[in-house]
Amino acid sequence: MTRQICVHSKDKKYVNHDVRESQFSSQSFNGTLTHGTIPNDNALNKQVWDNSEIIYWTNDSDYEHISLKDQEKIIKLALLESSLETPLVIRQRKRKSADAQIKINWLKKKDEKYFKSDSTLAFGYGPGWGLGGNTTMNADVLWIPRRIDAGPMTVKEAYDLGYIENYNREFPNSSVKTYDPLHTLKHECGGHNLGCNHLTDVNLRYSAVMFPYYNGLRRFGTADKKYLHSLYGKASVNHKIKENLLARIFNGISV
C-alpha cells in the first residue's frame, strides 16, 4: 500500500509524495489504532479523526540541541492552535500507554532511510489503514526555536550557544542556516497529522502555515483556520482566552 505524505526539504519546498509503507524504517511502531480515526486511503485533505480525543506520544529518540522537556513543550505548542480552533481534544501520553495515535520523533539520517537525501527536513502524514499519524524530524538538521523576527543566527552566536563546534573567525557575522522546529512541527502535526493538505495559493506565501514552502510562521493564518474548520468544525473558545493561550507560542520558547 502507498501513503501520501508531506516531505519538507531544505530547498524550502514541501512536496507531497506517494510512498510505500515499506520505505519507512520508522513506521514499525506499536501505535496501531483501535479507535478515533476515519478509515481512508489517503490521509491528506480530509477529516481523518472523528472528533474524539487524539493522543500523541513522542519517541525517546533524542535531538541533541533541544532537551526532551523542551521538545515536548514545542510539540504541545505546535498542536495548541489546532486544538483551540476545532473540537478536537489533543493530549500527550507516554509511550507505554499503547493507544497513542500520532507518533512524533526525531531521527538521524543513519536511522531513517527516508532521510538518505540530504535535502529532507521532515516528513509527516495523517492516519489511515489502522496506522496512526506520524511526524518525523531529521535530527541532522540544526533546529533552533527562533522567532522569524529575530533574523538569522550568526555563526558566532551559534558557537557561543554551543550549536556549532567551530567557525571562521574572519567572518563572525555570517549566518548559520537554522530552522524553527515550532513552525515545521505545526505544519506537520497541527496540519498534516490532522488531515490537512497544502494551501497552494501563492498569495498565502507569508500568511499560511500550510503553504508548501517553509516560511517560519508560528500562528495559523485565516486560510489555515478556515481549512481546519472545514474539516472539523469550529470550536467555541472565548477569543480572549484563546489569544492568551496562543501568546505562549511566541513567548514560551525562543532564543
Which positions lie near Zn ion, rule CB under 5 A?
6, 14
Whole-angstrom CA distances from 166 to 140, 169, 177, 210 are 17, 9, 14, 35
Task: Compute the least distance from the CB of residue 106 to Zn ion, in Å.
Answer: 17
Nearer to Zn ion, 126 or 132 (CB): 126
Specify the 3-state DSSP secondary structure of 191. helix
Task: Compute the least distance from the CB of residue 240 to Zn ion, in Å.
Answer: 31
Nearer to Zn ion, 14 or 227 (CB): 14
Nearer to Zn ion, 115 or 163 (CB): 115
Task: Compute the least distance from the CB of residue 179 to Zn ion, in Å.
Answer: 14
Which residue has the closest beta carbon to Zn ion?
6
**What's the rounded Cα separation, in Å, for the pair 128 and 99?**
15
Phi, psi of 175 (to 5 degrees): -95, 155
Closest listed residue to residue 226, CA positions, set 242, 240, 212, 207: 207
Amino acid in position 116: K
Residue with cell 492568551: 244
Task: Compute the least distance from the CB of residue 123 to Zn ion, in Å.
Answer: 9
Nearer to Zn ion, 6 or 141 (CB): 6
Nearer to Zn ion, 79 or 158 (CB): 79
Nearer to Zn ion, 103 or 186 (CB): 186
Burial class (CB in 10 A: 0-12, 13-18, 19+), 34: exposed
Name 127's Cβ contacts closer than 8 Å, sequence gap at least 6: 33, 37, 43, 48, 49, 101, 102, 133, 193
Task: Compute the least distance from the CB of residue 192 to Zn ion, in Å.
Answer: 6
Task: Compute the least distance from the CB of residue 189 to Zn ion, in Å.
Answer: 11
